Amino acid sequence: IDWYGISQEPETNALISVGSIRAPELFKDWIFTEGGNIYSFGLIMYHLSSPFMKDIHEDSNLDITSEGAPKSYVTLMNKCLSNDPTLRPTITQIVNTLGGWYLEVERNIDTPIVIEFRIADEFDPDALPLMGEDISVRSLLSTIRKLGVDLIDINQFTDRKYIGEGGFGSVEKALWRRTNKYIILKRIKNISAINYREHKAFIHELKIHIRLDLMDRIVRMFG
């Protein structure tokens, strides 16, 4: 597997490769193997899910995550990018995995894999409008009511404790007075990744939760 820059007929008999998709071991012995091709395939997977990546140099160790990509996709990608060639999957294993994903999506059945890819599509920041202002609070409340979701005053939640945060929001643990049970609260972060449209992003995520709440394999959510 190689890159567009060397797609033309070379004028030399020497081995040619491009560093940005070259396996680490090729920097040392220049022996092309199936394992090296698998590593290059993993980097192509990364390029497909993320727009930018620093160039790879000799002895470079990659710790790659693709924000927003399905977990199964990232897992396969990182296996391909293992620094140990013997731990990388074979091309047969990759083809079988990708073929399995394709069949599940084509059947349009709500399997865990299909749900992963749907959620990844929903969370694509580019899916949020780039132009126009964020929707008003009135429109936000109207949309929530139309979705059949109850509004709960934030003062109903006490003993709030920070748990962590991700690319789009932060998560807290809190006690819900009405039920006297602990629940999870998530707050959308108004950042450039959502084009500073926190109301639209909230509705976007709320629709995902409603869809997931109908799945019998997923724990029910309060909202």
Evaluate whether 80 touches 90 at the Cβ level (below 8 Å): no
pLDDT value for 223: 44
- The domain limits of the chain are 4-122, 131-213
pLDDT value for 31: 64
Separation between Cα atoms, residue 209 and residue 122, nearest integer Å = 11
What the block records as the tokens of 158 is 């006490």
Separation between Cα atoms, residue 57 and residue 114, nearest integer Å = 36
pLDDT value for 189: 78
Report the Cα–Cα distance between both ends of the chain, in Å, rounded.
Answer: 46
- Superfamily classification of domain 4-122: Transferase(Phosphotransferase) domain 1 (1.10.510.10)
What the block records as the tokens of 42 is 């993993």
Class of domain 131-213: alpha beta
| Residue 186 annotated as part of some ligand binding site | yes
pLDDT value for 22: 60
Separation between Cα atoms, residue 126 and residue 12, nearest integer Å = 43
Reported pTM: 0.47
Separation between Cα atoms, residue 6 and residue 120, nearest integer Å = 33
Average pLDDT per run of 10 along the chain, which is 223 residues long? 48 50 62 79 81 47 61 90 90 92 78 75 50 66 75 89 82 91 84 70 74 60 48
Partners of 173 in the beta sheet? Answer: 161, 184
